[in-house]
Amino acid sequence: MYLLPLGLTGRGRSDKVSLQIFTGESNVQNISKFIWSIAVILGCIAGSASAEGDATAGKQKNALCQGCHGIKDFKMAYPKVYPVPKIGGQNVDYLVSALKAYRDGDRANETMHAIAADLSDQDIEDLAAYYSAVQ
């Protein structure tokens, strides 16, 4: 025997919830499907909410980035001479992936690792939103 809340009673008052008693295997399967469906929906909502960056916040956090990436044709001299890539207008997913890889040490560049090491996931999302929106 299982109890499942069906809805609110008493004209929207949340202190009274009607319960229905379910017995039998088909009802148990339906309840399980219902619960898994709710879990999947909530997971999708939570995943999409955390994956959005704030470009305005990213603009406030970009001081270290613009020192190299904000200078046209800038070249870095350590550990070797190489051109610094333009990141304005890049795809947001690419920027998130690259910054996380630098932060986690999965992508090799000592300077970028040092800068990205202190960035939170939200910082990375914000910076990616900002740089994907500017040219």
71-120 pLDDT tens trace: 888 888 776 788 888 899 999 999 999 999 999 999 988 889 999 999 99
User: Do 97 and 35 belong together in one domain?
Assistant: no
Residue 97 makes CB contacts below 8 A (sequence gap 6+) with none
Q: What are 5-59's pLDDT values in tens digits?
A: 544 444 554 444 444 554 555 555 666 666 655 655 655 554 444 458 999 999 9
Residue 94 has which token pair? 């690419």
User: In the chain, how many domains are there?
Assistant: 2
Residue 67: predicted pLDDT: 85
Question: Is residue 63 domain-shared with residue 101, that is, in the same domain?
Answer: yes
Residue type at position 4: L
> Is residue 23 helix, strand or coil?
coil
Same domain, 76 and 90: yes
pLDDT at 3: 44
Q: What are phi and psi for residue 15, nearest 5 degrees?
A: -85, -10
Same domain, yes or no: 129 and 63: yes
CATH of the domain at 74: 1.10.760.10
- 65 and 100 belong to one structural domain: yes
pLDDT of residue 76: 80
What pLDDT does 47 receive? 45
- For residue 27, the enclosing domain spans 2-50
**Spatial distance between the Cα atoms of 43 and 119, rounded to a whole number of angstroms:** 24
Q: Tell whether 10 and 70 lie within a shared domain.
A: no
The answer on pLDDT for 130 being more than 70 is: yes
The span from the CA of 41 to the CA of 28, in Å, is 20
